[in-house]
Amino acid sequence: MRTESGSITGIAPLVPLLRLADLRESGCVMQLPDSRQQTSVAGQELWISAARMLDSVRGGGSPQPASSEVRGWLQRISEDDFLYLRHSPPLLYHNDQTASLPRYYWSEEFGYALWLRLYYEFDRHAAGGPR
């Protein structure tokens, strides 16, 4: 998506944010520009927040989130039998925004997987290491 200034902003930054830890673990440290770590798509803020928390838990350099922050996120997503997830699933990717017919790819299943991964990683690190 282009802004009025002509710069390109991210629409679906979730997967790149989640892959930063994998890149670091393989020896390729990468820093995404701020414009590629944000989205203008409503309802995606909580998913971006989860990706950032997960990255910091996996050694992303930023301070680890407080346990209350992670628990609050897990609770928010799982309220009312995961209603938020069903109404605003994670946006994984989209086609070229200049295409005549834009397409967006959302995934409830990925949202459940992200919820479980954050729960697992936070629980593992809070307990002091691998189990």
Which pLDDT tens digit goes with each residue over 84-127?
999 999 988 776 767 788 777 889 999 999 999 999 988 887 76
- CB pairs under 8 A, 24+ apart, for 103-109? 104/12
Residue 43 forms part of a structural domain: yes
Query: Is the predicted pLDDT of residue 50 greater than 90, yes or no?
Result: yes
What's the CA gap between 61 and 58, in Å, rounded? 9
Residue 36 forms part of a structural domain: yes
Residue 4 forms part of a structural domain: no
As for how many domains the chain has, the answer is 1
Helix (H) or strand (E) holding 109: helix 108-126
Are 84 and 114 spatial neighbours (Cβ–Cβ below 8 Å)? no
Residue 8 forms part of a structural domain: no
Residue 118 forms part of a structural domain: yes
**Residue 113 CA to chain centroid, in angstroms?**
11
Range of the structural domain that residue 66 is part of = 14-126
pLDDT for position 9: 46
Query: Is the predicted pLDDT of residue 131 greater than 50, yes or no?
Result: no
Query: Is the predicted pLDDT of residue 3 greater than 70, yes or no?
Result: no
Residue 108 forms part of a structural domain: yes
Residue 66 forms part of a structural domain: yes
- The larger pLDDT score, comparing residue 57 to residue 131, is at 57
Query: Is the predicted pLDDT of residue 29 greater than 90, yes or no?
Result: no
